[in-house]
Amino acid sequence: KAGVTQTPRYLIKTRGQQVTLSCSPISGHRSVSWYQQTPGQGLQFLFEYFSETQRNKGNFPGRFSGRQFSNSRSEMNVSTLELGDSALYLCASSWGRGGTEAFFGQGTRLTVV
Amino acid sequence: EDKVVQSPLSLVVHEGDTVTLNCSYEVTNFRSLLWYKQEKKAPTFLFMLTSSGIEKKSGRLSSILDKKELFSILNITATQTGDSAVYLCAVEAYSNTGKLIFGQGTTLQVKP
């Protein structure tokens, strides 16, 4: 069974640009959550999608957005990139909403210069 | 505000030692607690605990949850160099379904 797949693995962008990250969950999983990991703040929750709807959102500015498609694949978009957006972006998939094991992808390392 | 605190933040042991990692939490409407191992990129799922006092075990790793005292421990016996990693504890609440709140992590280094 394939795991959670995130693409691309690495990205370098310039301040002010926008970026789209992709996450394909484990087959059969319907919930996808996104996290930002930085050395200073650790893992912080961005948002969760289930059945193509955003169900929960963390404390990030509106520049961070996402969506989920009918096949449960999810994308995350960051607009007007800032240097502080440099981080490892991880997505996790789980079978249902809450109370079930969440499995992480390898992450996308975003560097903003 | 919901909070998860792990201790110690870092630990150095020698192969064969037994280690205990701690995770305490303050969460309204606790639902579950999860342990992950992160070596390079992807946190790898270890255990999910929802009921108090029940031990989850996988090989040399085991974990137990105390819902009354609001903490969990992760034990690793007969440590190996391959156990070197950051161990992350995360908690989910019923009032915030789908969101995992992570602790800072414990960095474990196992020396040969």
| Structure confidence by residue, pLDDT tens digits, B45-104 | 999 999 887 899 999 999 999 999 999 999 999 999 999 999 999 999 988 888 999 999
Task: Return the residue matching tokens 């819902």.
Answer: B67
- CB contacts < 8 A, A to B, total 68
Return the amino acid letter for A33.
Answer: S
User: Are A102 and B100 inside 8 Å of each other by CB?
Assistant: yes
Tell me the residue ranges of DSSP E strands in chain A. Answer: 5-7, 10-13, 19-24, 31-38, 42-50, 53-57, 64-68, 74-78, 87-94, 103-104, 108-112
Which residue in B32, B42, B99 is closest to A99 by CB distance?
B32
Both tokens assigned to B64: 């137990």
| Structure confidence by residue, pLDDT tens digits, A10-58 | 999 999 999 999 999 999 999 999 999 999 899 999 999 999 999 999 9
Task: Return the residue matching tokens 């009354």.
Answer: B68
Q: Give the pLDDT score at B10.
A: 98
User: Are A107 and B102 inside 8 Å of each other by CB?
Assistant: no
Q: Give the pLDDT score at B53.
A: 79
Asked whether A21 and A109 are in contact (CB, 8 A), the reply is no
The confidence band for B1, taking pLDDT boundaries of 50, 70 and 90, is confident
